[in-house]
Amino acid sequence: MLPSFWLGFCDMIAMKKIQLFVILSLLGATSVFSQQMVLKKGEIIEALPVQDSTDQSFSLYLPTDFSTSERWPLLVIFNFDDKEKQAMSMFVHAAEKEGYVLAAPKLVDSLSLTDNMLATSKVIEKVTNILPVSDDRLYVAGQSRGGRFASLVPLLIKGVKGTISIGASLANRDLLNVKEPFHFIGMVSRNDFNYTAMLTDAKLLDKLKFPNQVLLYEGNKDWPDLIYMEKSLQLFTLDAMGRKLIPKDSIYVANAYREDLAKVSQKLSSGDLLWAEQYMTEMMSIYGAHQNLDSLRTVQKELRKDKEFRSLKRSENAAFLKESILKEDYQYYMEEDVYTHNFNNLGWWTYQMGEIQKFISGNNLYEKQMGNRLLGFVNALTEDNIDIIQTEEVLDEDALALLFMLKTILEPDNFEYYLKTISLSAKNEDYGTSLFYLEEALKKGFKDKEKLYSLEGTALFRITPEFNELVSKYLKDARYDIDQN
């Protein structure tokens, strides 16, 4: 049941539906920009060279209605997992509907931030040289690490006007310059440990008068539904119209506004009052340049006075406070445990995992979300520590073993860290630990015998009777039949 104040507002803003019919060409036309380069429209083109003298490359997508007779906005997409095409494909539908050119530089995880930023700059220069790109409408985007990188690009490369960060907060708040603001669009699930950090980022950006919106999505997925990519590009377009960078299309604005009102209505009807109120705030930040929003502000004020809303807000704030305290504990104890090689504290971490699982399986919605965020936070914290130790000049194998063991507690069904623990322990001839984690993995259903027999550092361990007895017990037919007599 929708609140009465919302129903009244919807009656006031109801307008005639306007249908736009866009005829798209189905012909696979091509555009030629140089003697060496022929670019097809409507498909992702991979491995385009940045310069003939280097091995740097990028991927490109031109909408099917692309034409050189007009200037186009450009969205540059970042990925550090060698999956530029997959990351770019998430934006293809949005690029078609909203009219954006897409590009994705080939970034290398092992390279420094400086080298990857230089590679990005060269790709932007290349694309803007061969295509009619609008100088005022250059944007970047990324998910997870790619999102953090994307938030740095407007700070380090001049001319970048906005960034889309999916599941990642700002990489460096100290570099924000009030004289060079950019448009920040964050997308995050309320189950993602980056959620609270992104809300903090939004408050800071508001204070610095940076245009920004935070779009929330459901579930624990790394990527939101494709409609969110469409919405993010729509927000950039609305912002460009509001700043008079492009002509204002009143029909486009009216349709977008009506879609957003429908979103608020849906959230109100489902009882998600906090999401509805947050979305109204984002609407006012983008539509204020286009129309009078006094009616929407009135609705938001009435919602904030609603008893149920205020009760839900208190519950969420209580979860935020509890989460903050627990995060501080986790950071402190992980730092101490890694520094002192405190294997005895693995029992404490097991208990904490049990507490987190109670939050996740409980009936309090905000504590369920908090539990998922805490689980993600501890996992990320552990993986960050693993990365740091593995890049040190002198490898601290005891600290690394501790973190591998901790990961088996945090992700009990992820066999990767059982195998890493077995390998590292066997290398140091700690066969008791190797046997324990081997049996734990086998109990949980690990069945890849070939992978087990090829584990690095386990040559001597694999020929022990104990190893082969466990393999025979759980997988049958051990490779070595050792006679103990």
Burial class (CB in 10 A: 0-12, 13-18, 19+), 436: middle
Q: Please give the pLDDT value at position 6.
A: 58
Q: Tokens in use for 85?
A: 């095409």
What is the pLDDT, as a whole number, of residue 109?
83
Tokens at residue 308, please?
């149920």
Q: State residue 30's pLDDT score.
A: 41
Q: What is the DSSP string of 43-103?
A: SEEEEEES-TTS--EEEEE--TT--TTS-EEEEEEE-SSS-HHHHHHHHHHHHHHHT-EEE
Q: Which sequence spans correspond to the domains of the chain?
A: 33-247, 329-475
Tokens, residue 331 = 């950071």
At 402-446, the pLDDT tens digits run 999 999 999 999 999 999 999 999 999 999 999 999 999 999 999
Per-residue pLDDT reduced to its tens digit, 360-374: 999 999 999 999 999
Q: In the prediction, which pLDDT does 196 show?
A: 97
For domain 33-247, give its CATH number from 3.40.50.300, 3.40.50.1820, 3.40.640.10, 3.40.50.720: 3.40.50.1820
Q: Which residues of the chain have pLDDT under 70?
A: 1-38, 52-54, 478-485
Beta strand 212-217 with 183-189 is parallel
H helices present in 55-172, as ranges: 84-98, 113-130, 145-156
Kind of pairing between the strands at 162-166 and 183-189: parallel
**By the 8 A CB rule, do 91 and 154 touch?**
no
Q: Contact at 8 Å (CB) between 148 and 165?
A: yes
CA distances in angstroms from 226 to 88, 229, 288, 445, listed in the order given: 12, 5, 26, 35
